[in-house]
Amino acid sequence: MATDITINIRGRLADFRRPWVMGIVNVTPDSFYSGSRTRSAVEIEKRVATMMADGADCIDVGGYSSRSGADEVSPDEEWSRVATALEVIRRRWPGAVVSVDTFRASVAAKCADQYGVDIINDIGGGDLDPEIWEVVASRRLAYVLMHMRGTPATMQTLTGYTDITAEVYTDLAMKVARLRQTGVADIIIDPGFGFAKTLQQNYELLASMSHLKDLGLPVLAGLSRKSMIWKALDRAPEDTLDGTVALDTVALLNGADIIRVHDVRPAADTVRLLSLMPGFRGPASGNRPENVSTLHQQPL
């Protein structure tokens, strides 16, 4: 399962010989998992400090809850929220790899121009705000292309698939081609677990996720504490850490290069243990590849 896939993070090459752990920082009052919510600078700094100490390779900051039924948030409010977090992160961890979870071009542009973020994580895949691709291309940012149908409000009414994996693959492949034409060079694909998929479709997609590797791009899996876990187990999101670790393990074995999580330490431990398996990702080592360590340590 070795991989030679690389992306450019603002002028420095990053690979996934050891999969990355992306830690979630939600600067929102209504994200589905209450344990991820942070509002004040003090709360944000404490959460990020824990994540960095626990082994996060990247911090993903979001100011807009994409759960079904969440309140609408204006672009100004979203920007205010993420700016609070980015101010803290760039002050204390200037070399951290930072992703911003936004589908809005205006928010993405401000994050790039004022705080030098590295990655734009777009749940809309360019559909919710087509101008976001031009922002990413002009700033030479890395881009997470996620699969979704409709909007967060309508997505769960758009789950009619004949072959979930084939249709997700085709949709992502078509958009990758268009992104290349727009000038976006560094693309990460995300199958969008929980977004316009039924519970069973999520598991079908997870089981066959290795087929997405045929696109030749890094694959991100966002499974952490999602409804496909807590609904299946009849539990609250707060009681789904074990289920998250189990599904993250499956995702990693099926080729995930990045796992996006609320709980960094268990995820980092999972990656470290799997890395001891001969043939998992090249050298059997729990240490970060040199280029990833460099990304953490050097100011951007």
The residue from 197, 213, 226, 288 that is catalytic is 226
Show the tokens assigned to 71.
């309140």
State the Cα–Cα distance between residues 256 and 213, nearest whole angstrom. 9
- Annotate 78-125 with three-state secondary structure: HHHHHHHHHHHHHHHCCCCCEEEECCCHHHHHHHHHHHCCCEEEECCC
Residue pair 243/230 in contact (Cβ under 8 Å)? The answer is yes
Annotated active-site residue 226? The verdict is yes
Annotated active-site residue 178? The verdict is no
State the Cα–Cα distance between residues 105 and 94, nearest whole angstrom. 24
Burial tier of 256 (Cβ tally within 10 Å: 0-12, 13-18, 19+): buried
Indicate the SS3 state at residue 28: coil
Sequence letter at residue 297: Q
The residue from 17, 175, 213, 260 that is catalytic is 260
Q: What positions carry a catalytic annotation?
A: 226, 260
